[in-house]
Structure 1
């Protein structure tokens, strides 16, 4: 195994469809070791991403176990996401300074230790502190996987590696809640965190033994941009907190949300300026000089919004409007996850066989069409009504995500891959956070708007509303209600609110679809690139 980074131009020959790659020392690369080392990193990424989903189904048990309130227990999730977002942009700098293998092993060790600490927590304060540290190490384990896929593998293998990374993103959200529920039922909620010990030890062994992909540059430890680090931390923490808590607090009606928004804007501008003028920035913005990367980042943002937004809307609708149980919601949502998981090889083949721009257009168009079906949602929609939406959206999102990520880095030099990876993962997560905040706001605002419209129409003298009110009054009277008219009015209000809620979900689906249509349009502005996939690719030059 070579100690040098395996540049794509080191591909010299292929035999039996397995590339013979020579490192800087002239020795052939042992691909078994490469796959074992990369596989260990993939398992680590899966573990880090799973830890946000696996806890979601057991928050009630955790709340009871540590004596937390409903507001306090929400921070178990929020603080993890905040910490993840903060550390992601730093991974490129740290892997360059320490080397990918050393950095990743340290991150996994930290993740295991903090997982044990979270599992042993006896109070909410203790859990929040260790959960924040766990999130820092988890965020450090995600971007290096994509960077490694783009630098270690030869060009014709990169799409396959990209598909594997896409599988991890979707698989963690698919099986996380189900796995978490079973672990809690069979053992206890503490095993949601203790399960990371054996998996983490396997990752340490594989990465420590086989992931010798590059060497660190200790000189980067001199002249660390501490001001840039501070500005970035303040910017990302403020922004993420506003997105997570803004809707619950009434957005700018709340003083803290208002001031944190101002803080995010000011520190964000100052951080970008600092990274542009400082001689050794902690987050390189150089990839943004490439037009494809800049447009690809926007499309990655939209795929994050589509991936997390669609997964957010349907469970709420099924639970609140249809009254589905957790098991029924899980069975319905499983279609989306399984589609994305099973379609990943197909998506990879589609991306590989045609121009990346065409792949992105097809992927976003399919996802937009599917999500737009939800704009016609009614209060009778269930498993089969959402089936077509989920299948088409899953395939479209997978194709769009793989193609957008591939397009983002296709024209970048290998030296920028680590910086690009950190930015891509950050933007996808931020896209998800902004998407959830936007959709939550649409649901609450549009429900109120539709309620007023329907109530106003129902209050006017018309045969339909009058007949319905009379019928409800008679039913309540027959049931022996003390105030039949009052009970009928309450029932009428509940029916109006239910209908208003359904209409607001339709608006939310429409907004989500609009984002995908916009991303599809942006694909027309990307430059054609030649991606060496082992066969000619149309459109490149």
Structure 2
């Protein structure tokens, strides 16, 4: 035995049991902790759900408030813009006020803004209330992950992280499902009113049981207002470019071009400010950890896969198959059920092996699932997409949880709140960038495939001539005044639909390749495995 082991002065006194921020682990009232944490989890689910709950019902909202086709997209965009600005601020504000007070304030704001959004009578009113809702939602998302990593002892953290991962992956997937059925059954206003009852439950649970820490008044002094302004300009301009760039032909539009320049300048200035200022509004210290940096990159790709898959599939079902919101929701339910069932499996897999292997398995499963979509045809429906959704759902659970664990596997507890905000921000930015790229791919590749298909339709093509003759005959039988012109128009529509279907295959190919790259990048992380419980658990 070494001298250090014999000399008590040579090493810090170890507690008999593992310590948590709430005290010795065996003296903590875990029922109270789980009730408080459970309330925060429900709040996080609501906040993430509201990103996608309107996805299948935008046309109904548009009709209800008299918005134009261009204006209605802001119902979703403004929520994401506000959310992405608030997420990195959460660590600072929760350290200043304390997790409980900060979370309760966010939930109250979320409930009030949800009611106001449901009562909106114009697009202008809805944009303002959805922005407030996004700010409140962005405050509720990262606090849960930080709590899971700081309040629970080591042996409970994987379970807590599985719950968080389930919410992050499940909520965007069931959003279109729930939204579609709510709209058809009760009307679009209930997409927002539905937050009230669970919101009140969250208020009760968090307000009564989530007394996990106390605020530090020192953070109220010397707030980095310049850093806050630079961050806001950087994130808002970047998010707007990603959301609207594809529809505005990217840099061909002056606003998109100048906002890109503004984003780059403010982003660089913001990073410099956070490094130089004594009390940064967002700490970048977690990026000094190699595993956090790589884990963040994995979360970026996971965000692209999660939000991208949830974007492409409903779009295909609506545009190619003509599904109603409820039918889209029912088809998408497979992913949600798979993720729910996969949560315990994902937890066991991650506990049993190196986190790098977990990420490789997760991203490989996602890639295998999405690769089915590369060969999509216009006849695909529920059954054809089932295997894709099952593999993607299972892989997303494993990859998301493993990437989150990798990010904090070597992270000091003191940096957990900062790390949580950054991880969630990076995941959301990944999702936004994925949507922007996918929108561009579908638009450009549809035009490419259409030109290619049209060039193959010549007078020498017997198949094309037979189809044209058949369509002309149908139009003649239907009483068309100009059957040949109507036949050509119908034939052009068929070619466009086929080109659009092929473009969706290209979108699935992009997502597949992204997951393959992520699986390969996982090999560069430092070996890491979730820590086991302390041997013996301490003396009794």
- Give the TM-score taking structure 2 as reference length: 0.91
1:12/1:22 contact within 8 Å kept: no
Partner residue of 2:48? 49
In the superposition, relative to structure 1, how do residues 23 and 122 fare at CA in structure 2: closer, same or farther (>3 Å)?
closer
Once the two structures are TM-superposed, the CA of residue 481 in structure 1 deviates from its matched residue by: 3.8
2:184/2:326 contact within 8 Å kept: no
SS in 2 for 1:141: helix
SS in 1 for 2:527: coil
Aligned length: 523
1:373/1:389 contact within 8 Å kept: yes
2:20/2:151 contact within 8 Å kept: no
Once the two structures are TM-superposed, the CA of residue 533 in structure 1 deviates from its matched residue by: 3.3
State the alpha-carbon separation in 1 of the partners of residues 291 and 240 from structure 2. Answer: 30
Partner residue of 2:515? 516
List per-residue Cα deviations over 1:437-479 (Å, max 9, x = no partner): 1111100100101111111122363333344334444444454
Q: Trace 1:161-176 onto structure 2 (pairs within 5 A).
A: 161-176=160-175
SS in 2 for 1:521: helix
Once the two structures are TM-superposed, the CA of residue 181 in structure 1 deviates from its matched residue by: 4.3
State the alpha-carbon separation in 2 of the partners of residues 470 and 179 from structure 1. Answer: 45
Once the two structures are TM-superposed, the CA of residue 103 in structure 1 deviates from its matched residue by: 1.0
Partner residue of 1:129? 128
Partner residue of 1:67? 66
SS in 2 for 1:396: helix
List per-residue Cα deviations over 1:109-138 (Å, max 9, x = no partner): 222222233233333322221221121111
Partner residue of 1:203? 202
2:172/2:307 contact within 8 Å kept: no
Partner residue of 1:327? 326
2:180/2:329 contact within 8 Å kept: no
1:225/1:280 contact within 8 Å kept: yes
Partner residue of 1:296? 295
State the alpha-carbon separation in 2 of the partners of residues 121 and 478 from structure 1. Answer: 48
In the superposition, relative to structure 1, how do residues 136 and 23 fare at CA in structure 2: closer, same or farther (>3 Å)?
closer
Partner residue of 2:154? 155
SS in 1 for 2:283: coil
State the alpha-carbon separation in 1 of the partners of residues 447 and 21 from structure 2. Answer: 64
Q: Trace 1:81-96 onto structure 2 (pairs within 5 A).
A: 81-96=80-95
SS in 2 for 1:158: helix
1:10/1:21 contact within 8 Å kept: no
State the alpha-carbon separation in 2 of the partners of residues 495 and 445 from structure 1. Answer: 18
Partner residue of 1:340? 339
Once the two structures are TM-superposed, the CA of residue 328 in structure 1 deviates from its matched residue by: 2.5
Partner residue of 1:141? 140
State the alpha-carbon separation in 1 of the partners of residues 216 and 227 from structure 2. Answer: 20
> Are 1:450 and 2:468 counterparts?
no
2:458/2:464 contact within 8 Å kept: yes
State the alpha-carbon separation in 2 of the partners of residues 186 and 87 from structure 1. Answer: 33
State the alpha-carbon separation in 2 of the partners of residues 281 and 171 from structure 1. Answer: 33
> Are 1:402 and 2:384 counterparts?
no
Once the two structures are TM-superposed, the CA of residue 291 in structure 1 deviates from its matched residue by: 1.0
Which stretch of the first structure deviates more once superposed, 119-128 or 89-98? 119-128
In the superposition, relative to structure 1, how do residues 155 and 244 fare at CA in structure 2: closer, same or farther (>3 Å)?
same
SS in 1 for 2:415: helix
SS in 1 for 2:247: coil
SS in 2 for 1:465: helix
Q: Trace 1:350-499 onto structure 2 (pairs within 5 A).
A: 350-459=349-458, 461-499=460-498
State the alpha-carbon separation in 1 of the partners of residues 309 and 180 from structure 2. Answer: 22
In the superposition, relative to structure 1, how do residues 437 and 512 fare at CA in structure 2: closer, same or farther (>3 Å)?
same
2:177/2:328 contact within 8 Å kept: no
Partner residue of 1:116? 115
Once the two structures are TM-superposed, the CA of residue 60 in structure 1 deviates from its matched residue by: 3.8
List per-residue Cα deviations over 1:147-206 (Å, max 9, x = no partner): 000111111111111111122123323443343445445555444333333322222221
1:228/1:274 contact within 8 Å kept: yes
SS in 1 for 2:248: coil
State the alpha-carbon separation in 2 of the partners of residues 177 and 510 from structure 1. Answer: 23
SS in 1 for 2:158: helix
Which stretch of the first structure deviates more once superposed, 490-499 or 90-99? 490-499
Partner residue of 1:314? 313
State the alpha-carbon separation in 2 of the partners of residues 488 and 11 from structure 1. Answer: 83
Q: Trace 1:181-330 onto structure 2 (pairs within 5 A).
A: 181-185=180-184, 187-330=186-329
Which stretch of the first structure deviates more once superposed, 269-278 or 169-178? 169-178
> Are 1:76 and 2:75 counterparts?
yes
Which stretch of the first structure deviates more once superposed, 129-138 or 48-57? 48-57
Partner residue of 1:349? 348
Runs of 5+ consecutive residues of structure 2 not aligned to the other structure: 1-12, 536-540
State the alpha-carbon separation in 2 of the partners of residues 487 and 77 from structure 1. Answer: 37
State the alpha-carbon separation in 2 of the partners of residues 472 and 68 from structure 1. Answer: 37
1:287/1:293 contact within 8 Å kept: yes
Partner residue of 2:100? 101
1:155/1:532 contact within 8 Å kept: yes
SS in 2 for 1:524: helix
Over the aligned positions, Cα root-mean-square deviation in angstroms equals: 2.3
State the alpha-carbon separation in 1 of the partners of residues 43 and 513 from structure 2. Answer: 34
SS in 1 for 2:383: helix
State the alpha-carbon separation in 2 of the partners of residues 425 and 311 from structure 1. Answer: 18
In the superposition, relative to structure 1, how do residues 120 and 387 fare at CA in structure 2: closer, same or farther (>3 Å)?
closer
